[in-house]
Amino acid sequence: MKKAIIVITGMPRSGTSFTASLLKSAGLNIGQKLMAPGHGNIRGFFEDLDIVGFHEAVFRSQHIHPVGWTLRDDITVREPYLTEASELINRHTDDAVWGWKDPRTTLFLNFWARQLPEARFLLLYRAPWEVVDSIYRRGDEIFVEQPELAIKVWMHYNQKLIEFYDRFPERCLVASASSITSQTDSFIDTINRKFNIDLAMPEGDIYEPTLFHKRVAQSHYPAVINQYFPQAIQIFEELNTREWQLGRYTGSFHPGEMDNDYNQAFRDWFRVRQLEREVERLQAALAQIQVEQQELVSESSSGLSAD
């Protein structure tokens, strides 16, 4: 297999974990110490802990949220982090096809492009309403007081993808989560052709449709974004024109007039998703209580039979 470096990035909740699992199955070495599954990604994050630790350390040195919930443009990598980046790269000297997945990389694209001139970049995106909804389902505390930050960060990250792609189109492949999940074989073929490598076809049971909540496209939430943040729709359309399937995205939204101010509209959206999570938690607790009650009844019946 030809030598290659593939970097997978995009706004959080945009299918980066699924894509990383896909390419790992296809033969891409994405690291040995991977982040364990957890809340928000029950199948795993597929993130190299060393790469994530590097990005988080740079964020903390500049008082930025470690997940990357920021709108800042002036993120500069200085010593001693430059030395650490070189050490991370040197660990893969003997690897034929390697790379990593970390959404935080979106804010470091120019840095890594300089450090790794041979690297190729998979720039992933997802419809803004789907990403915001997924963020709200996860329930990060930062969005309790400023739920509209989710769509602002979506615009910030995806504008970065567009700018980077327009500078280095030959080094990049833009792909939507929708196209990757529906046209997986074509996606792998396109990577192989454009980046001149030879990834295999991944295993067939990686995609779990229930993990991608798409019904939000049929709700009024896309209209909320269209009403208060029309720039997000414009960015989304620009991404579609750069996408490897040339706008294959099949989702839709229903523009309309919203009566509430945008802060209240996003607060209501966030609150609905939190209430759904609470309902799920209570249902799970109830199911556990029912199991325990059944076990007590069984033990009681067994005791009476013995008497």
Q: What is the DSSP string of 1-28?
A: ---EEEEEEESTTSSHHHHHHHHHHHT-
Considering Cα of 193, then 194, then 195, then 201, what sign does the dihedral take? negative
Give the pTM: 0.80
| Tokens 């496209």 -> residue | 217
Calculate ∠ Cα 102-107-110, nearest 5°: 105
Q: What pLDDT, on the 0 to 100 scale, is given for residue 296?
A: 79
Please tell me whether residue 305 adopts helix, strand or coil conformation. helix
Task: Tokens for 284, please give them.
Answer: 């799970």
As beta bridge partners, residue 123 has: 9, 174
Hey, what amino acid is at 32?
A: Q
* DSSP at 151: H
Per-residue pLDDT tens digits of the chain, which is 307 residues long: 568 999 999 999 999 999 999 999 999 999 888 887 665 555 667 899 999 999 999 999 999 999 999 999 989 999 999 999 999 999 998 899 999 999 999 999 999 999 999 999 999 999 999 999 999 988 889 998 899 999 999 999 999 999 999 999 999 999 999 999 889 999 999 999 999 999 999 876 665 555 555 677 777 888 889 988 999 999 999 999 999 875 455 444 544 544 455 667 777 787 778 878 777 778 888 888 888 888 877 777 666 555 5
Contact between 102 and 48 under an 8 Å Cβ cutoff? The reply is yes
Task: Give the number of other CB atoms < 10 A from CB of residue 67.
Answer: 16
CATH architecture of 4-211+230-247: 3-Layer(aba) Sandwich (3.40)
Contacts 24+ apart (CB under 8 A), 70-77: 70/107, 70/153, 70/156, 71/152, 71/153, 71/156, 75/107, 75/108, 77/108, 77/111
